[in-house]
């Protein structure tokens, strides 16, 4: 079992319908490929964590890199895992409204400045921790 996390920037403003379409596509494809994870969209930026068999997630990541809806795709976490963190989610999703949940302890700058304010390239584990915290906040809010 393996996971990767990447971030990117939209190439055009995403409408609510664009995001719903993206989510629908991701859920269908990920379920078919045995991939789970979370897609987070905030202030024109995406962060996505994918987990599954290494070959499957890197094949999907190659497809994601070519997607014209975003640019600057940057892989910042790539590691084997013992267990899935998002085992029930073919693709969880969080967007602008839910991002306010991150305004809690330690995440105020992230909410105000956007995803890029977390320097995930120098501290990739912070990006992973952020995604896991987001998952927990979303689960507790349901």
Q: What is the pLDDT of residues 84-107, one digit of tens each?
A: 888 777 776 666 544 433 433 333
CA distances from 51 to 87, 110, 121, 132, 133 (A): 9, 24, 19, 12, 16
pLDDT-based confidence at residue 117 (cuts at 50, 70, 90):
very low
The pLDDT score that the predictor gives to residue 40 is: 83
Q: With a threshold of 0.85, does the pTM exceed it?
A: no
Contacts (Cβ under 8 Å, ≥6 apart) of 58: 4
pLDDT-based confidence at residue 80 (cuts at 50, 70, 90):
very high
Residue 14 in this model has a pLDDT that exceeds 90? no
């Amino acid at each position: 079992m393996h996971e990767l996390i990447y971030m990117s920037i939209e190439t055009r403003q995403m409408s609510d319908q664009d995001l719903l379409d993206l989510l629908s596509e991701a859920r269908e494809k990920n379920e078919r490929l045995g991939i789970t994870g979370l897609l987070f969209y905030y202030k024109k930026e995406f962060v996505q964590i994918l987990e599954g068999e290494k070959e499957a997630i890197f094949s999907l990541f190659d497809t994601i890199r070519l997607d014209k809806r975003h640019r600057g795709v940057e892989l910042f976490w790539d590691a084997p895992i013992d267990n899935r963190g998002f085992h029930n989610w073919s693709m969880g999703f969080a967007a602008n409204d839910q991002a306010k949940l991150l305004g809690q302890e330690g995440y105020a700058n992230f909410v105000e400045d956007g995803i890029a304010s977390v320097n995930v390239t120098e501290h990739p584990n912070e990006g992973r921790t952020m995604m896991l915290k987001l998952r927990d906040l979303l689960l507790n809010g349901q």
